[in-house]
Structure 1
Amino acid sequence: MQNNVSQAVDYNSICQIVPTTSESVLHPFVDPLNNHLPGFSINTPSRIAHFLAQVAHESGGFRHRWENLNYSATALTTLFAKYFPNQVMAESYARQPEAIANRIYASRMGNGTEASGDGWRFRGRGLIQLTGRENYLRRGQWLGENLISEPERVAEDLNICVLSACWYWQSKRLNTFADEDDILHITRRINGGLHGLAERKAYLDRAKAVFAKEFNL
């Protein structure tokens, strides 16, 4: 078993793990990561490495904390054929992120109808995207925060952004698979498949190399 580490990451190591993102974007995450990961037992080199690899991929290298829904008509018919069954409908929604969100997330995950605006209001936010009114409600209750009234805080408040991802990690019991170095199982639990696996592995390899030096592994 790996020994617990005193902090999750420092300024230098996070820049090595996510080299394509500017320091100005990465540095504000260092304190929230160090403050909150230990509370979820994400506290060994392997657990921290796997966590960072997954959230780095999911957030586009920590650059994107909210869902990009600016899809073309072709993308809508390809990715969301259930909601856009023909080209005419897709073209009427294309490049309108708010309208797209309201359609694809309507009447599920606790959201109201398309006209309610819940799809856009409770679109994906965070390092591992939180989506849907019901999930915002549950996560907010756990945090002691009113995320229904202020859903944007999941993206804007970096403490909540990190805590939300930690909560998801814990709820899926991903530390167990990190201990087994099982990136495939972790990716499936987060993504539902293996999308972006090569990039996730690249982040993981860099994290392992950084921690091997730092902790003399």
Structure 2
Amino acid sequence: MSQLEQTDCINCPDILKHWIEFQLVDEEGKPLVGMPYKLKSRGNPSIERTGTTDGTGLLREEDLPPMPVTLSISAQPLADEIVRRTPRLPTGETNSHVKPTAIMDGYEYQYITLGILSDGYPTIRGWQAQELQNSEHFRGSTLQGLSTHQLNRRYVLEIQVIRGCACDRDITLDELQEILPNAPQIRLQNNLEAFNQGFNRFGITTCRGKAHFLAQVCHESGGLRYTKEIGGERKTYNPWYGRGLIQLTFQGTYAEYGNYIDEDVTSSAQDRDKLLSPPHSVLSAFWFYNIHKNVSGSAGNDDFNKVTALINGGFNGYNDRLNYLKTAIRVLRAEHLNQLLENERFEFTSSSIYNYKIYSFAWGLWHDPNITTRRGTTKDRDEALRGYERVQELIIANPFRTEQQLNRKMYGIKNRDVSNYINERITALRGGEGGAARGIGERREGGAARGVGERREGGAGRVVGERREGGAAREIEARREGGERRGRGN
């Protein structure tokens, strides 16, 4: 007769007397609660325990035979929870704050990735399936779980945090540092809380929406350096010069913002200077972006061209804004919400600006190689022609009719003269006469050539924005060019 193996005696009290505990925590030592698990005895397949971790992230199983066990956690609930956690920087076991405490308490410790515990591959927003499988979190994983032969002890399992997209969570200091690598950390720390409060207050919850906002604000403020207009005290509109990350200018705008937040920002220099530092330097930017200009809808449609046109009134600093956006998209893992970015470009014809005379005209002007007063885009003959030709189509479809409409201006050109001007530019761009034509309305004002409509408002050249053209929404007070920075940092 063969000798009876211990695993054959399933119900023997002397055999089933072992226990084991696993405690699941993140990189800050916070417990992972309610995680569905499965514990198998390797020596006896009939022994399988299931349950969920308790309020301390702990699971305990008793009455086990003296055989190795394998623990696996349901992949999707574990991933859903771990992506919400804050990654420790720097990461890794060497930098763990959990390990010394666990060892001091007499527990076993292990630093692990999702792939070691998970029973499959989860879906994580911001990650492509193959990218996730090849990442450090799953590379080489068998998806068989964590095994150990040592029972009658507790294992503290510190799980490496995986950063998902920035939807429905705060952005982190590390992420802001990646977007603005040259900014001092103290400046980022001073603005981070206000950014996250603003995202929550104004309902900007998606990673892509946050990327659009940060791209515009980072450009407008010179990388969060400027919250005050350079030489603002010398302006004719002093004391209502530009303040904040998107610099609010003029008494009426200050008053509107103050009414919105129900706080005095107009009565004294001290009140106005609230906009120079957080929270108001940031909050005023959210108000301008979301309320005053109502940009969020265009950002939600991933319409970068329209977002830029609304904020700036034209396309000053276009390339810089786009670079910030691409960086923010990468850092916040917002690629999965892409709608309009194709081959690293936001096409004119895919944007809603294609249906606006003013913005189609602007697209032509800013891309026209012969118009040097409009800066910030890559000059491109073909793109300029697309813009100009589209304006012609829109004017034919919806002409300027009233005397008031005809006398209004787009970028310094009266509406009654726009068609003739465009015809001249198209002829020039196609190789006809006038290839070296001056930029629209270039004047000698104050000794320097300025594009018509450029004003010194808010400390930088602004483009006169859209007015009512056949019922189109008025977009006045275009914003400043990124190259004309104006303030002392906050």
Determine if the TM-score, normalized by the shorter chain, exceeds 0.5: yes
Matched, 1:165 2:285: yes
Summarize deviations over 1:8-50 as a string: whole Å, max 9, x none. 4210000111122111211111111111212211110111000
- In the alignment, the residues of structure 2 paired with residue 140 and residue 33 of structure 1 have an alpha-carbon distance, to the nearest angstrom, of 19
Match of 2:241 among 98, 109, 123: 123
Distance 1:164 1:191 in 2: 16
Taking the TM superposition and a 5 Å limit, the aligned residue runs for 1:74-153 are 97-99=232-234, 101-102=235-236, 119-149=237-267, 150-153=271-274
One-letter code aligned to 1:50: H
Q: Determine what percentage of the aligned residue pairs are the same residue.
A: 32
More helix by share: 1
Q: Tell me if the contact between 1:8 and 1:43 (Cα under 8 Å) persists in the aligned partners.
A: no
User: In the alignment, is the contact (CA less than 8 A) between 1:8 and 1:48 conserved in 2?
Assistant: no
Q: What are the superposed Cα offsets for residues 27-79 of structure 1, whole Å, 9 maximum, x if unpaired?
A: 1111111112122111101110000000000001001011113xxxxxxxxxx
Gaps of 5+ in 1: 70-96, 103-118
Structure 1 vs Structure 2 CA RMSD = 2.4
Residue 63 (str. 1) matches residue 221 (str. 2)? no
Matched, 1:21 2:180: no
**1:32: which partner in 2?**
194
Which residue identity lines up with residue 151 of structure 1 in the other structure? R
Higher-strand-fraction structure: 2
SS, match of residue 55 in structure 1 = helix
Deviations 1:164-201 (A, max 9, x none): 11111112221211122211111111111101111111
Larger radius of gyration: 2
Normalising by structure 2, what TM-score?
Answer: 0.33
| C-alpha separation in 2, matches of 1:7 and 1:59 | 24
1:216–1:197: structure 2 CA closer, same or farther, 3 Å change rule?
Answer: closer
Query: How many residues are aligned here?
Result: 171
Question: Aligned partner of 1:187: which letter?
Answer: T
State how far apart, in whole Å, the 2-side matches of 1:39 and 1:212 are: 22
Distance 1:4 1:206, change over 3 A: closer
| TM-score normalised per structure 1 | 0.73
Does the 8 A contact of 2:255 with 2:265 survive in 1?
A: yes
Higher relative contact order (CA 8 A, sep 6+): 1
Deviation at 1:213, TM superposition (A): 7.9
1:189 pairs with 2:351: no
Give every structure 1 segment of 4 or more consecutive aligned residues whose post-TM-superposition deviation is greater than 4 Å. 213-217
**Maintained 8 Å contact 1:125/1:155:** yes
Gap runs ≥5 in structure 2: 1-125, 127-164, 339-490
2:325 matched to which residue of 1? 204
Verify the 8 A CA contact 2:216 2:321 in the aligned structure 1: yes
Name the CA distance, whole Å, in 2 between partners of 1:46 and 1:213.
5
